[in-house]
Structure 1
Amino acid sequence: MPNARLAAARIASVDALRGFALLGILVVNIAFLASGYRMAGMAEPAFQSPLDWTVRFTVTLLVENKFYLLFSFLFGYSFTLQVDSAERQGRPFGPMFLRRLAGLLLIGLAHAVLLFPGDILTTYAAVGLALLIFRKLRPKAAVVLAVMLTAMLALGFVLLALLATFGLDMGGTVADSAAEATKADTALAASALQIISEHLRKLSLIIVFRVLFQGPAVLAACLIGLAVGKLGAMRDLSAHTGTLRKLQWTGFTVGLAGAFVYTTSAWHGTMHKFWGEAVDLVTAPLLAAAYAATFLRLLPYMPRIARALAAPGRMALSNYLAQSLICSLIFTGYGLALVDRVSPPLEVLIALGVFVCQVFYSHWWLKRHRYGPVEWLLRFLTYWRKPGPSRPQQASHALGE
């Protein structure tokens, strides 16, 4: 019985960490859902007050590019839970996981086309194939591969920065044009057909970035999660207090310094952005790790917050999609069409309000159901049969098992 309670506590901490990551993702994504300019990498021209810039700077410094890495780490960690579960039940893991990835790909494609071209689910579907190939890697080898991927990505941005330094134009895309950003805003405020057409156009522009940069970065974070899962490091966090402290010291020094370099370069020319991206690729994982270490160390002293965050974390896939749907109803022609009419501070307040509502809704839903609605669908596609009724208190692991 004590072991069962310990296992339940471990699951709750992972779910709470996932809920925490989900909040950070919403705070970042809402800016891109609310403005064609932000999707183009530019500040909204209608909001230039000191408060607007303070919020932009703070979100970029502390949140941007940190929480999707944390979510990716949890995807890799949950992968190890799925492998262990399949082994305990005597099920062949490969075919089951491939069906799961196919379902995730279909859901991600629908999300990208209908709601948000910045969707990451399709990336997870592709990265999941790599995890399937690398699932027998030893933890040390997985960490080494993650470091190599990160270093290669950083060197890629260094190369782009050098090319920009020597005068090669690296900005010949729609994303670099204010006129095209205005055109995007017009489309997003129009009919459903025009919104979908705009999403498809954005997808055609960012596919190279996804393949060359986002995919490997997500895979690197997943490999760290794979290593942590194989080592069982999250089974008893009290036994790893020293490691967690080191992650905090490194992340809140080197990680924050790198985030400051990235933030100060984010609103300048292409060359500066590339240098900032190179630094951020190396240091953002450290800051994300510091966030996770701090959160997990404080969690035992914050049981109410842990319980509050665990529920949205258990149905993170449903909540992630719901966030895009709600924001689309606010900012696009699907609903109020307030694209580029909401200031950065108000965006953050809306994000916090939406997440609080999701906390209450998730608790209400999970009192009546074992899985979130989209988690239920994904589980059906994974096992190719209707999930049987079970006690709502039994935890599912969102994108994991």
Structure 2
Amino acid sequence: MADRYPAPDLARGAALLLIAVANAHTFVTGRGIGVRGYPRDLQGADAVVAAVQLVLVDGRGYPLFALLFGFGIATLAARRATTGAVTGGPGPAARTTAGTAGTPPDDPVLATVRRRGAALLAVGAAHAVLLWHGDIVAAYGLLAVLLAGLLVRGSTTALVTTAAGTIALTVLLYAPVALTDSAQTASPSLVEPGVLAAASDRFGEWLFGNLLLSAVGSAGAAALGVLLARSGRLAAPGRHRRFLTRLAVAGIAAGVLGGLPLALVAAGVWAPPAGIALLLGPLHALTGYAAGAGYAAVAGLVADRWARRGGPGPVGRALVATGQRSLSAYLAQSVAFVGLFAAWTLGLGAGLPVWAATLCGAGVWLVTVLVADRSARAGRRGPAETLLRLLTYGRRPAPQR
């Protein structure tokens, strides 16, 4: 993995902490659901933790991860396209200015991206049925299969249009979140004690309630990730420090300011009129994309500092190793959460405080970082990454040096 860019892997490793923390509270049951899936009537430490997460984490980690997914697809396609002896495909000059127009139907680069997407779709579907309905991997796979031409050959205009359209649609879908107030649990599969019945519930929750929404919500950030990859700003951050600094400051500031109103509602500090409340969800979602881009820029600046100082320290190397094994780490989070919280396992999610769930999420992430670092030192790939390569290329990867 020596030819990988450190900034995206660092961002992935850190983003997994945001995802673990953001997902942990969704396993809390028996307390009703309020703003963004947090329990109703938050008080004390729970209210503080939820407010901090809504400002810095919730709705910010997934846009970052989707952006890095698009970056990864563009990087994979560029590398495959420039190694004609391996792929037999066209080089970068084959990119058209009209989306997929002019793309050969047997384009081997597109075929590779679609095979990888199909593999991700299969892994994500298994993840959803066996463990957690909130899977995001299948949504990425669906995007890679359906939008391969756009992500690989799409013009800047086509990518910007796609990003703007899908982000606008996603933002509108978030309009009711500030008004959510229900005594029911958001995920019946989590409170179902029967293993098979829970799996059946998860399948329905994933297929009809999560897959398409996640794909639409991720499409815009993925398109932006492709544009970021083409610009070279994250791959070579040393030449773009000023741009990355401005993006980091503006993006994170927008995320904080845009997330604060919804955080105040969730914490019980503010009860806006219904008309204003309908604007808070879209504002939170829109600024989440900005925060995700800002976090990616921070990773680029950190990677540039490493380059000027001779490399990362132990913590940096561990985060990069986690980013290189992000699929394995992501799936491992679900294994831990389901084992702890679901009713058909230990059932610890019933009535669990949000702050306790958050600590569990951070602890699970830390364990994955330690395991990934040990795996990197031993020269081993992540098991999910090995499976993904096998499904994509039909062969196991060569051992790492």
TM-score by length of 1: 0.81
Q: Aligned pair in 2 of structure 1 residues 117, 306: CA closer, same or farther (>3 Å)?
A: same
Which residue is equivalent to 2:59? 65
Distance in 2, Cα, partners of 1:79 & 1:297: 22
Q: Aligned pair in 2 of structure 1 residues 152, 335: CA closer, same or farther (>3 Å)?
A: closer
Which residue is equivalent to 1:86? 80
What code does the residue aligned with 2:198 have?
A: I
What code does the residue aligned with 1:90 have?
A: V
Which residue is equivalent to 1:348? 358
Matched-pair contact (CA < 8 Å) for 1:37–1:178: yes
Matched-pair contact (CA < 8 Å) for 1:138–1:227: no
**Is the aligned partner of 1:280 residue 2:284?**
yes
Q: Aligned pair in 2 of structure 1 residues 223, 130: CA closer, same or farther (>3 Å)?
A: farther
**Is the aligned partner of 1:250 residue 2:250?**
yes
Q: CA offset at residue 224 of structure 1? A: 0.8
Q: CA offset at residue 185 of structure 1? A: 5.3
Q: CA offset at residue 197 of structure 1? A: 3.0
Matched-pair contact (CA < 8 Å) for 2:61–2:292: yes
**Is the aligned partner of 1:149 residue 2:166?**
yes
Q: CA offset at residue 140 of structure 1? A: 5.2
Which residue is equivalent to 1:395? none
Which residue is equivalent to 2:383? 373
Q: Select which of 175, 183, 188 maps to 1:178.
A: 183
**Structure 1 segment 2-401 matched on structure 2, within 5 A:** 8=2, 11-35=5-29, 41-44=36-39, 48-87=42-81, 88=83, 89-91=85-87, 92-134=108-150, 135-139=152-156, 141-155=158-172, 177-179=182-184, 186-187=191-192, 190-203=193-206, 206-207=209-210, 210-211=211-212, 213-265=213-265, 274-299=278-303, 300=305, 303-391=313-401
Distance in 2, Cα, partners of 1:177 & 1:250: 35
TM-score by length of 2: 0.81
Percent of paired sites with the same residue: 27
The gaps in structure 1 that reach 5 residues or longer are: 1-6, 165-169, 392-401
What code does the residue aligned with 2:350 have?
A: D
Partner of 1:178, secondary structure, is coil
Distance in 2, Cα, partners of 1:282 & 1:318: 29
Distance in 1, Cα, partners of 2:363 & 2:173: 38
Q: Aligned pair in 2 of structure 1 residues 52, 265: CA closer, same or farther (>3 Å)?
A: closer
Distance in 2, Cα, partners of 1:370 & 1:180: 40
State the number of aligned residues: 367
Distance in 2, Cα, partners of 1:337 & 1:12: 39
Partner of 1:234, secondary structure, is coil
Deviations 1:279-333 (A, max 9, x none): 1232111122222222332342663332120111111101101100011111124
Distance in 1, Cα, partners of 2:66 & 2:138: 13
Q: CA offset at residue 81 of structure 1? A: 1.7
Q: Which moved more, 1:268-277 or 1:78-87?
A: 268-277
* RMSD value, Cα: 3.0
Matched-pair contact (CA < 8 Å) for 2:32–2:182: no
The gaps in structure 2 that reach 5 residues or longer are: 88-107, 307-311
Distance in 2, Cα, partners of 1:238 & 1:26: 30
Q: Which moved more, 1:85-94 or 1:236-245?
A: 85-94
Q: Which moved more, 1:240-249 or 1:264-273?
A: 264-273
Q: Aligned pair in 2 of structure 1 residues 181, 140: CA closer, same or farther (>3 Å)?
A: closer
What code does the residue aligned with 1:278 have?
A: P
Q: Aligned pair in 2 of structure 1 residues 66, 377: CA closer, same or farther (>3 Å)?
A: same
Matched-pair contact (CA < 8 Å) for 2:77–2:113: no
Matched-pair contact (CA < 8 Å) for 2:55–2:258: no
Q: Aligned pair in 2 of structure 1 residues 180, 347: CA closer, same or farther (>3 Å)?
A: closer
Distance in 2, Cα, partners of 1:357 & 1:198: 29
Matched-pair contact (CA < 8 Å) for 1:18–1:316: yes
